[in-house]
Copies of this chain bind each other. A is one copy, B any other.
Amino acid sequence: MKKREQSQQTKLALLEAAEVMFATSGFESASVASICEAAGVSKGAFYHHFTSKQALFFELMQRWLDNLESHLKEIEAQQTELPDKLLSMAHIVGEVLEIGGPQLSIYLEFWNQAIRDKDVYHALSQPFDEFLAFFTGLLETGMESGVIKKADSEMLARVIISLGVGLLFQGLLDPGAADWDKVTTYGLNILFEGLYNESST
B28 near A169 (CB under 8 angstroms)? no
A-B contacts besides A151-B190, A192-B194, A194-B195, 12 pairs, CB < 8 Å: A26-B112, A108-B112, A152-B186, A155-B178, A159-B163, A159-B183, A159-B186, A162-B166, A165-B170, A190-B191, A190-B194, A191-B194
Across the interface, which residues of B come within 8 angstroms of A108, CB to CB?
108, 111-112, 115
Across the interface, which residues of B come within 8 angstroms of A24, CB to CB?
116
Chain A residues touching B, majority SS: helix
What would 25 A/B residue contacts be, using CB atoms closer than 8 Å? A24-B116, A26-B28, A26-B112, A28-B28, A108-B112, A111-B169, A111-B173, A115-B173, A121-B173, A155-B182, A155-B183, A155-B186, A156-B190, A159-B186, A161-B170, A162-B183, A162-B187, A163-B163, A163-B187, A165-B169, A165-B170, A169-B169, A190-B191, A192-B194, A193-B195
| A→B interface (CB under 8 Å) | 24-26, 28-29, 105, 108, 111-112, 114-116, 121, 125, 151-152, 155-156, 158-159, 161-170, 172-174, 178, 182-183, 186-187, 190-195
Across the interface, which residues of B come within 8 angstroms of A112, CB to CB?
26, 108, 112
Residue of B with least CB distance to A154: B178
Question: A182 to B156, alpha carbons, bound, how many Å?
Answer: 11
CB of A84 to closest CB in B, whole Å: 19
Question: A114 to B191, alpha carbons, bound, how many Å?
Answer: 30
